[in-house]
């Protein structure tokens, strides 16, 4: 079970990317497959942005739920007030878990914004942010 | 015709075949002609005469239409579906023959008959012979001549109606065949039954298809869990497992994908006898067959345009199949029903309500989750959408069945059709005639307004999300298991749907996939073509066009740089930050790869350079190296194929700055305004006005603008920067200029990776005027020579302003950190909201702005701000050299007050004559004196003394001769300069300004330029004579000097005698009383501190009386002699005495800060000053010395000033 999480800025630019795999099953072939899929993941998420842009105007909620699918992958999205999109590529449905995950990540992102040295739309390089996101992912996904 | 057209099941497929020989273009023309007649009204079709087979008689439903689907190609792969989906079948064949190519038409027809044998399923056939000539007889049976004259349209439509009639008749017999069948099989994916022996290669299939575990587990994972996403991929793999081993299945699959469309394979595939149903399913099959027959019958009604019959037949088929739980056929019947309903709506046929509502309502409402209530009728499309959801569910249910599994292509197409239909409604804006027209005929609007709209959908209630969801439902793992052509078909269809609803990213995604799928086919078909020396240009162009669209959407599209030729200046410009770098890199790499396989060298170069330019920050060093090296290689390859290609430099501008290099001091030309042309003008340069501080004066020499001189080599410093991780080899670099002619010198250099270098470039301007430096012409290895522009950076003040603002902001940040957090949060929240317009919209807006800028007025403003470096080039200037001087080692030794001469020989080494020379001098004392004057508060009389010392006594002087200077090139000139031994002076500089004014020709008020030559001189000034103990005393002459001379001391006597002699010498005798009243005595000692004797002469100017008293004496080395001088008493008027102390330099008056004395004291001081001045004016002293130095007698004529040592004692 693997997840691909990305925060997309307003110019289709990724601000933060992370991949989570559930613990344990890390066989060799799996790793190769994942590597191969990495680029595909980006393409899939990118193509799902179209749907997000359509849906974000129709919902009051920030969490847009599962908005798109490609083969066996589902794409969930969460749009912040600043039009920063949190996108998660996942394989199984877990609406509540993902909602919590997104909420937590949004909070982390807002804390990131509070940093006066961080500019909106620029890549997040903080390792602390990465660690926290991974922690949240482990907790809720 | 679009295969995923919603109404394609209602179209009769007619194949148009060329009867060779025929030109491709001619064939195309005729095909287009025939395609115009694809709609035939049932009312126009001649009713069938044979009563027995009038089942499909057009007379029964006059409103109906026959829709033809004229094709020139069809998918043989789908032959196995013909029994299931009748519209896939070829019902008719029309041969198209060019009479010009066939002199004997009968032969042509025979050939057509031969072609017909390939299409056994065709019910009717015609052969149209176009462009018949006069002499060709119209007697061949079955051949229809289409004349070029007369009402061809009418004729054609008649022919088509006739053809339609034939087909309708044949439908009757087809029904009989169908009804007579005992079994009607579900379609089977043919690959499973093809013999493994046919597999062309036994190699292991690619991992995408070969991983059996994934293939088998995938359907289980993705089987439908939720009603909103019934995503079951119909997996034929399971069936495969039941038949053979895994490897066999994999092999077969591989063979299937790699299969070429040979007719022999087809024959085995379409042979129904190879299907051996087991006896168990046999019974089931028998039970199910009636329902299936009804469905097929309904299909035929639909094709025949008999919509009411079709609808009723579909209903009964649905009933039957439902009761048999024959899901596949149930779904198919539902699909057919939907098509019929849409077509009915399109025709506005008034059979609706009763037929629609009566039988279907129970069945549909039971299966679909939301029952349709008759009181609140939904629009038809919503009903259809519901039905289709049902269809999908039904199809999904078949995935576990062995014999009745839905072919994945059918499943996918169902989804895509629905999606496309919704897209049509969305595009039309509402459910109405326009939408229906689009659905039926599949004509998409192409106008821009529709294409570019985004945001909320229209009133239709169809949202793009829904469309996208339907489309994505049709795409799953199972698509990857299809054959290549099917995959291409699915991917391109998806791309077209997304393109039509303006989902650009999804469009690009699928377009990219399609390109990848098409590519191997293209390159395979290319091989024989390339050997024959042909290339399919059209296909290549389309592929490249697609590539362009893809890269455009991913944000790495044309940035006009390819055309403009202007390179962006900085890294920030190079990447406008739009898009996803990883994806962009991938896309560009794909584009390069695809262009390579075509191969199109221009595209390879274009994409490679774009990748380097836009995304170098994200590329590792090796990658950058590889790409940059590949570019010259591409040019080489292109050359081999006789394609003349030149690559422009791919990177961002390497030239960062160009500035003029200051020439060496003696070559700098200094400008002067031509009005005052004198020595004093030049001399005064260092002396800027009477004010102590002048805000307008230039701060230092650096700000003086540098001028270039015509016909002399000028040097420029160019800063080159390389942001790449690879070294840039610059084969040639030279300045690029406009304005006056300029001959640049070319050099070559290398910029190491990630560094910047300064390069000194030179060139010769050949004329006077203004030189504009646009930048550099650079040829980088492997690229063509290009011009790199450089603009003058913004003024310092502007930068400072910004800096200050920045600082202020920062300061505030630091000061208010406490509550900053909250404010910042709010601020970001707001800016965040402002950023709301996002994604591709930004990209498009950006482009719009760009295009406006390039056409509109803003560009000119920007151009004005961006200015090139401008340098003034002045006319040719002479160049002077000091050839020799009379000094040894540039040093001179003098006694204090000594006067001597030195000579300087000048040589004109330039090419221009010199007609103007002026000299100015500096010595070390001036600076000291100035420093003391400006720094300390000294009494004005002392200040006067200082200034006098500094400025009135000059070490050097030059007697400017009146003779006009004219120093021709190569000529020499001798200067004689007087040198004066000034106390404390250690060094001095002689500055020679010279120029060529050409006064005869040019008017005097032009600016002219001079150059300077400096000659530093070291001075050693020795002290030789020191005045001491100066005093003034009353002059009391003795009563009688001559009579009683016995008692007077010798010394005293002698002095008096001398004095009297002095008075006598003036030729007048003064009586003693006058001497006493008018004279006083000035006495002082002079000590000789040197080791040679000096002859000292004193001269006292008597002022008004005009008498001069002279007194000479010789002072021996190291001895002191007392000097007594009679001086006429001085009396100054009150007015003269109270004058303020003057300033020698015309400087601004500064109130002294020194402590003030009483008024009396002040007055006394002033009087003292003026008396002393008067005294000094009268007294002149000079000394002579005869010394033997180097065996030469040097007679020195020197004037000795004693002023500075004069004690300030009162002499009254």
CATH of the domain at A69: 3.30.450.70
pLDDT (average), residues B1166-1185: 77
Nearest CB partner across the interface for A49, out of B505, B824, B842: B505
Cβ within 8 Å of residue B825, ≥6 positions away: A110, A113, A114
Q: According to the model, what pLDDT value does residue B1202 have?
A: 42
Bigger pLDDT: B610 vs A101: A101
Using an 8 Å Cβ cutoff, are B651 and B617 in contact? no
pLDDT in tens, B1084-1098: 778 888 887 877 777
Between B415 and B187, the more confident residue is B415
* Contact yes or no for A42 and B583 at CB 8 A: yes
**How far apart are the CA of B480 and the nearest CA of chain A, in angstroms?**
9
Neighbours of B844 (CB within 10 A): 13
pLDDT band for position A58 (50/70/90)?
Answer: confident
Yes or no, beta carbons of B833 and A43 under 8 Å apart: no
pLDDT digits (tens, 9 = 90+) for B590-647: 888 888 877 778 888 888 888 887 788 888 888 888 888 888 888 888 888 777 777 7
Question: What's this model's pTM, rounded to 2 decimal places?
Answer: 0.67
Which chain A residue is nearest to residue B509, measuring alpha carbons? Answer: A47
Q: Using a CB–CB cutoff of 8 Å, tell me whether B455 touches chain A.
A: yes
The residue of chain A nearest to residue B810, with distances taken between CA atoms, is: A116
Nearest to B835 among A10, A48, A55 (CB): A10
Query: Which residues, other chains included, contact B151 with Cβ-Cβ below 8 Å and sequence gap of 6+?
Result: none
Using only C-alpha atoms, what is the Rg of chain A? 14
Q: Is B218 on the interface with A (CB under 8 A)?
A: yes
Within 8 A of A10 by CB-CB distance, chain B residues are 835-839, 842
**Is B225's CB within 8 Å of A55's CB?**
no
CB contact under 8 A, A116 and B578: no
* Per-residue confidence (pLDDT) for residue A133, from 0 to 100: 92
**Minimal C-alpha gap between B420 and chain A (Å):** 16
Under 8 Å CB-to-CB from B1005, ≥6 apart: which residues?
Answer: B673, B674, B675
Helices (H) and strands (E) in chain B, counts: 38, 32
Pairing of strands B891-895, B1008-1022: parallel
Which residue is listed with tokens 């649905």? B318
Per-residue confidence (pLDDT) for residue A108, from 0 to 100: 93
Strand partners of residue B145: B129
Q: Cα(B577)–Cα(B147) distance, rounded to whole angstroms? A: 62
What integer pLDDT is reported at residue B859 of this predicted model? 39
**Tokens 């064939």 belong to which residue?**
B27
* Contact assessment for residue B3 and residue B489, using Cβ atoms and an 8 Å cutoff: yes
How many structural domains does chain A have?
A: 1
Residue linked to tokens 């995938």: B218
* Distance of residue A135 Cα from the nearest chain B Cα, in angstroms: 24
Taking alpha carbons only, the member of B545, B413, B408, B378 closest to residue B480 is B408
Q: Chain A residue with minimal CA distance to B463?
A: A54
* pLDDT number for residue B682: 43
For chain B, state the CA radius of gyration.
56
Q: Select the residue of A42, A51, A93 nearest B468 (Cβ to Cβ).
A: A51
Structure-token pair, residue B1076: 């006493």
Please say whether the beta carbons of B348 and B65 come within 8 A.
no
Distance CA A7, CA B425 (A): 34
B463 chain-A contacts, CB cut-off 8 A: 54, 58
Domains (range + CATH), chain B: 8-180 (3.40.50), 536-640 (no CATH), 655-668+706-792 (2.60.40.10), 797-862 (no CATH), 885-1022 (2.60.40.10), 1026-1205 (no CATH)
Among candidates A140, A18, A141, A6, which has minimal Cα distance to A84? A6
Rounded to whole angstroms, the Cα distance separating B84 from B70 reads 20
Residue corresponding to tokens 């650079």: B778
Place of tokens 């030109």: B23
Burial of B851 (0-12, 13-18, 19+ CB in 10 A): exposed
Question: Per-residue pLDDT tens for A39-52?
Answer: 788 888 888 888 88
Q: What is the DSSP letter of B755?
A: -
For residue B343, the model assigns a pLDDT of 83
According to the model, what pLDDT value does residue B833 have?
Answer: 43
C-alpha neighbours within 13 Å on the C-beta side of residue A79: 28
Q: Give bridge partners of residue B770 from the DSSP assignment.
A: B872
Looking at residue B999, its pLDDT comes to 58
More confident residue, B738 or A31: B738
3-state helix, strand, coil in chain B (%, to 5): 45, 20, 35
Q: CA B779, CA B201: separation in Å to the nearest integer?
A: 51
Nearest to B778 by CA among B867, B833, B718, B702: B718
> Which of B236-240, B919-923, B1079-1083 is most confident?
B919-923
Distance from CA of B69 to the nearest CA of A (A): 32
CA distance B185 to chain A (A): 30
CB < 8 Å to A80, chain B: 832
The answer, for B838 touching chain A at a CB cutoff of 8 Å, is yes
CB B894 within 8 A of CB B1019: yes
Q: Is the pLDDT of residue B536 over 80?
A: no
Q: How confident is the model at residue B285 (pLDDT cuts 50, 70, 90)?
A: confident
- Residue A115's domain spans which residues? 2-140
A-B Cβ pairs (cutoff 8 Å, strict): 139
With CB atoms and an 8 Å threshold, state whether A80 touches B839. no
What is the mean pLDDT of the segment spanning B1176-1196? 57
> Would you tell me which residues 523-582 of chain B have a C-beta closer than 8 angstroms to some C-beta of chain A?
554-555, 577-582
Looking at the predicted structure, is the pLDDT value of residue B356 above 90? no
Number of C-beta neighbours around residue B417 at 10 A: 27
- Res A88: pLDDT: 92
Residue B70 belongs to what H/E stretch? strand B65-71
- Mean pLDDT comparison of B555-564, B868-877, B1056-1065, highest-scoring range: B868-877
CA distance B365 to B69: 34
- Yes or no: say if B797 and B804 are a contact pair by the CB < 8 Å rule: no
* Out of A11-25, B118-132, B278-292, B747-761, least confident range: B278-292
Q: Residue for token digits 């005052």?
A: B676
Q: Which residues of B touch A2 (CB under 8 A)?
A: none
In this prediction, residue B694 carries a pLDDT of: 64
Say whether pLDDT at B760 is over 80. yes
DSSP letter at B199 equals -
Q: Give chain B's length.
A: 1212
Sheet with B742-744: list strands edge to edge. Answer: B655-660, B714-721, B756-765, B742-744
Q: What is the pLDDT of residue B923?
A: 81
* Terminal Cα distance for chain A, rounded: 10
In total, chain A counts a number of residues equal to 141
High-pLDDT (> 90) share of chain B, %: 0
Smallest CA–CA distance, residue A51 to chain B, in Å, is 6
Q: Would you call B824 and A116 a contact, using CB atoms and an 8 Å cutoff?
A: yes
- Residues 766-825 on B with a CB inside 8 Å of A are 813, 820-821, 824-825
pLDDT digits (tens, 9 = 90+) for B893-950: 887 777 788 888 888 888 888 888 888 888 887 777 777 777 666 777 777 777 777 7
Interface probe with B: pick from A2, A10, A38, most Cβ of B within 10 Å: A10
Contact B91, B123 (CB under 8 A): yes
Higher pLDDT, B706 or B1197: B706
Residue in chain B lying closest to A14 (CA): B580
Does residue B297 or residue B1046 have the better pLDDT? Answer: B297
Residue listed under structure tokens 């799902």: A48
pLDDT at B27: 83
Q: B832 contacts in A (CB within 8 Å)?
A: 80-84, 113, 120
pLDDT at B305: 79
B1120-1128 vs B1079-1088, strand pairing mode: antiparallel
Q: Which chain A residue's Cα is nearest to B814? A: A116
Choose between B1102 and B196: higher pLDDT: B1102
- Chain A contact for B237 (CB, 8 A cutoff): no
- Residue closest to B411 by CA, chosen among B190, B217, B232: B232
- Average pLDDT of chain B? 69
Pairing of strands B1025-1034, B1079-1088: antiparallel
Q: How confident is the model at residue B397 (pLDDT cuts 50, 70, 90)?
A: confident
Q: Which residues of A touch B (CB under 8 A)?
A: 8, 10-14, 39, 42-44, 46-51, 53-55, 57-58, 67-72, 80-84, 91, 93, 110, 113-114, 116, 120-121
Burial class of residue B254 (count of CB atoms within 10 Å of its CB; 0-12, 13-18, 19+): buried
CA angle at B1017 for the pair B1015 and B1019, rounded to the nearest 5°: 170
User: pLDDT tens digits for B840-849?
Assistant: 555 555 555 4
Q: Do A53 and B829 touch (CB under 8 A)?
A: no
Residues 590-619, chain B, touching A (beta carbon < 8 A): none
Lowest-confidence region among A80-84, B2-6, B17-21? B2-6
Residues from chain B that touch A64, judged by Cβ atoms under 8 A, are: none
CB-based contact A11 B578, cutoff 8 Å: yes
CB atoms within 10 A of CB B1099: 17
Band of residue B805 on the pLDDT scale cut at 50, 70, 90: low
Minimal C-alpha gap between A137 and chain B (Å):
23
SS (H, E, C) B270-326: HCHHHCCCCHHHHHHHHHHHHHHHHHHHHHHHHHCCCHHHHHHHHHHHHHHHHHCCC
Q: Would you call A116 and B842 a contact, using CB atoms and an 8 Å cutoff? A: no
Answer yes or no: are the C-beta atoms of B236 and B328 closer than 8 Å: no
Distance between the two ends of chain B, CA-based, in angstroms? 131
| Residue B279: predicted pLDDT | 58
Say yes or no to pLDDT of A130 above 90.
yes
Report the range of poorest mean pLDDT among B403-412, B440-449, B527-536, B1169-1178: B527-536
Q: Do A71 and B476 touch (CB under 8 A)?
A: yes
- A15, B395, B626, B725, B782 from B619: Cα distances, Å: 18, 47, 11, 9, 21
C-alpha to C-alpha distances, B859 to B774, B847, B852, B868, nearest whole angstrom: 18, 14, 9, 16
**Mean pLDDT over residues A114-128, rounded?**
89
Asked whether B467 and B426 are in contact (CB, 8 A), the reply is yes
Q: Which residues of B touch A14 (CB under 8 A)?
A: 580-582
Q: Does the beta-carbon distance from B465 to A84 stay under 8 Å?
A: no
């Amino acid at each position: 079970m693997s997840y691909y999480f990305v925060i997309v800025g307003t110019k289709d630019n990724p601000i933060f990317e992370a991949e989570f795999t559930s613990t344990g099953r890390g066989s060799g072939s799996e790793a190769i497959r994942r590597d191969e899929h990495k680029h595909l993941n980006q393409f899939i998420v990118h193509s799902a942005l179209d749907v997000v842009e359509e849906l974000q105007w129709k919902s009051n909620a920030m969490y847009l739920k599962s908005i798109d699918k490609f083969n066996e992958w589902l794409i969930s999205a969460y749009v912040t007030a600043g039009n920063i999109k949190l996108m998660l590529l996942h394989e199984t449905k877990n609406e509540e878990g993902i909602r919590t995950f997104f909420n937590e990540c949004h909070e982390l992102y807002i804390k990131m914004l509070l940093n006066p040295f961080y500019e909106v739309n620029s890549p997040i390089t903080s390792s602390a942010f990465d660690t926290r996101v991974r922690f949240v992912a482990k907790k809720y996904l | 015709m679009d295969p995923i057209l919603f109404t394609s099941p209602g179209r009769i497929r007619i194949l148009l075949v060329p009867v060779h020989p025929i030109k491709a273009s001619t064939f195309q023309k005729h095909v287009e002609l025939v395609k115009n007649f694809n709609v035939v009204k049932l009312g126009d079709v001649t009713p069938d005469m044979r009563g027995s087979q009038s089942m499909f008689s057009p007379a029964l439903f006059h409103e109906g239409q026959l829709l033809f689907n004229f094709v020139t190609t069809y998918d043989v792969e789908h032959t196995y579906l013909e029994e299931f989906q009748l519209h896939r079948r070829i019902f008719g064949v029309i041969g198209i023959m060019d009479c010009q190519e066939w002199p004997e038409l009968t032969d042509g027809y025979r050939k057509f008959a031969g072609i017909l044998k390939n299409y056994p399923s065709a019910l009717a056939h015609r052969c149209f012979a176009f462009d018949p000539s006069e002499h060709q007889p119209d007697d061949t049976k079955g051949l229809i001549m289409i004349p070029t004259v007369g009402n061809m349209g009418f004729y054609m439509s008649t022919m088509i109606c006739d053809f339609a009639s034939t087909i309708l008749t044949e439908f009757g017999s087809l029904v009989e065949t169908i009804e007579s069948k005992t079994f009607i099989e579900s379609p089977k994916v043919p690959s499973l039954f093809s013999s493994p022996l046919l597999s062309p290669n036994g190699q292991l299939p690619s991992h995408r298809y070969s991983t059996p575990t994934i293939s088998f587990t995938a359907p289980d994972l993705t089987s439908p869990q939720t009603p909103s996403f019934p995503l079951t991929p119909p997996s034929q793999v399971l069936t495969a497992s039941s038949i053979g081993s895994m490897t066999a299945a994999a092999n077969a699959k591989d063979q299937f994908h790699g299969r070429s469309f040979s007719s022999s394979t087809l024959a085995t595939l379409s042979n129904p006898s190879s299907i051996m149903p087991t006896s168990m399913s046999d019974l089931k099959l028998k039970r199910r067959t009636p329902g299936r027959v009804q469905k097929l019958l309904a299909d035929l009604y639909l094709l025949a345009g008999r919509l009411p019959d079709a609808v009723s037949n579909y209903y009964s088929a649905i009933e039957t199949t439902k009761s048999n739980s024959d899901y596949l056929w149930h779904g198919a019947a539902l699909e057919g029903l939907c098509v019929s309903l849409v077509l009915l709506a399109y025709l506005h046929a008034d059979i609706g309500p009763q037929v629609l509502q009566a039988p279907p309502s129970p069945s549909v409402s039971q299966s679909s989750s939301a029952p349709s209530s008759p009181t609140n009728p939904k629009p038809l499309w919503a009903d259809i959408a519901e039905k289709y959801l049902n269809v999908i569910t039904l199809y999904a249910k078949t995935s576990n069945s062995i014999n009745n599994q839905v072919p994945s292509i059918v499943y996918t197409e169902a989804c895509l059709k629905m999606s496309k239909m919704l897209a049509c409604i969305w595009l039309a804006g509402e459910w109405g005639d326009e939408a229906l027209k689009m659905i039926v005929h599949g004509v998409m609007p192409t106008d821009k307004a529709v294409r570019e709209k985004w945001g909320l959908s229209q009133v239709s209630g169809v949202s793009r999300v829904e469309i996208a969801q339907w489309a994505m439902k049709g795409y799953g793992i199972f698509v990857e298991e299809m054959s290549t052509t099917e995959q291409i078909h699915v991917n391109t269809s998806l791309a077209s749907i997304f393109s039509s609803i303006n989902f650009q990213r999804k469009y690009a995604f699928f377009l990219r996939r399609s390109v990848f799928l098409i590519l191997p086919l293209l390159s395979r078909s290319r091989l024989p073509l390339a050997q024959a020396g042909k290339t399919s240009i059209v296909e290549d162009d389309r592929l490249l066009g697609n590539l362009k669209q893809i890269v455009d959407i991913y944000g790495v599209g044309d940035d006009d740089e390819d055309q403009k030729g202007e390179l962006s200046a900085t890294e920030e410009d190079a990447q406008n930050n739009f898009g996803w770098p990883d994806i962009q890199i991938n896309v560009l790499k794909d584009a390069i790869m695809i262009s390579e396989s075509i191969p199109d060298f221009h595209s390879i170069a274009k994409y490679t350079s774009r990748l380097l330019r836009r995304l170098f920050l994200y590329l590792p060093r090796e990658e950058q190296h590889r790409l940059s090296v590949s570019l010259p290689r591409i040019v080489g390859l292109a050359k081999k194929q006789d394609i003349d290609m030149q690559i422009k430099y791919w990177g961002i501008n390497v030239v960062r700055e160009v500035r003029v290099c200051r020439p060496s001091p003696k070559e700098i030309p200094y400008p002067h305004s031509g009005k005052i042309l004198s020595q004093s003008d030049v001399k005064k340069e260092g002396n800027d006005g009477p004010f102590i501080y002048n805000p307008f004066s230039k701060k230092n020499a650096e700000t003086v603008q540098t001028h270039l001189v015509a016909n002399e080599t000028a040097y420029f410093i160019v800063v080159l920067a390389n942001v790449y991780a690879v070294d840039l080899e610059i084969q040639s670099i030279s300045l690029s200029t406009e304005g006056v002619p300029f001959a640049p010198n070319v050099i070559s250099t290398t910029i190491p990776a990630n560094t910047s270098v300064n390069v000194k470039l030179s060139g010769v301007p050949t004329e006077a005027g203004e030189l504009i430096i646009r930048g550099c012409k650079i040829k980088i290895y492997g690229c063509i020579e290009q011009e790199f522009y450089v603009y003058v950076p913004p003024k310092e003040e502007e930068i400072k302003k910004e800096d200050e603002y920045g600082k202020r902001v920062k300061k505030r940040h630091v000061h208010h950190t406490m509550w900053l957090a909250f404010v910042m949060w709010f601020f970001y929240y707001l800016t965040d909201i402002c950023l709301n317009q996002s994604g591709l919209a930004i990209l498009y807006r950006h482009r719009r702005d760009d295009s406006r800028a390039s056409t509109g007025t803003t560009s000119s403003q920007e151009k004005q701000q961006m200015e090139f470096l401008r340098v003034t080039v002045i006319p040719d200037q002479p160049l002077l050299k000091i050839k020799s001087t009379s000094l040894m080692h540039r040093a001179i030794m003098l006694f204090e007050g000594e006067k001597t001469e030195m000579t300087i020989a000048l040589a004109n080494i330039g090419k221009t004559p010199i007609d103007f020379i002026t000299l100015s001098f500096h010595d070390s004392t001036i600076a000291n004196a100035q420093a003391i004057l400006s720094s300390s508060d000294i009494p004005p009389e002392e200040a006067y003394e200082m200034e006098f010392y500094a400025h009135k006594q000059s070490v050097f002087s030059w007697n400017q001769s009146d003779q006009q200077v004219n120093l021709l090139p190569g000529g020499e000139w001798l200067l004689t300069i007087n040198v004066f031994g000034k106390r404390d002076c250690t060094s001095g500089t002689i500055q020679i300004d010279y120029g060529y004014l050409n006064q005869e020709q040019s008017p005097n008020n032009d600016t002219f330029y001079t150059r300077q030559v400096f000659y530093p001189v070291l001075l050693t000034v020795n002290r030789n004579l020191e005045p001491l103990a100066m005093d003034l005393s009353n002059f009391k002459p003795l009563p009688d000097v001559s009579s009683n001379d016995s008692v007077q001391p010798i010394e005293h006597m002698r002095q008096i005698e001398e004095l009297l002699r002095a008075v006598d010498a003036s030729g007048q005798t003064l009586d003693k009383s006058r001497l006493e009243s008018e004279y006083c005595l000035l006495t002082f000692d002079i000590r000789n501190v040197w080791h040679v004797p000096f002859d000292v002469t004193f001269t006292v100017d008597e002022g008004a009386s005009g008498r001069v008293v002279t007194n000479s004496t010789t002072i021996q080395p190291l001895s002191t002699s007392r000097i007594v001088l009679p001086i006429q008493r001085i009396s100054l008027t009150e007015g003269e005495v109270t004058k303020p102390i003057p300033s020698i330099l015309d400087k601004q008056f500064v109130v002294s800060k020194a402590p003030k004395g009483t008024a009396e004291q002040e007055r006394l001081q002033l009087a003292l000053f003026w008396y002393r001045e008067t005294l000094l004016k009268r007294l002149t002293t000079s000394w002579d010395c005869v010394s033997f130095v180097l065996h030469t007698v040097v007679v020195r004529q020197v004037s000795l000033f004693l002023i500075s040592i004069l004690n300030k004692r009162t002499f009254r």
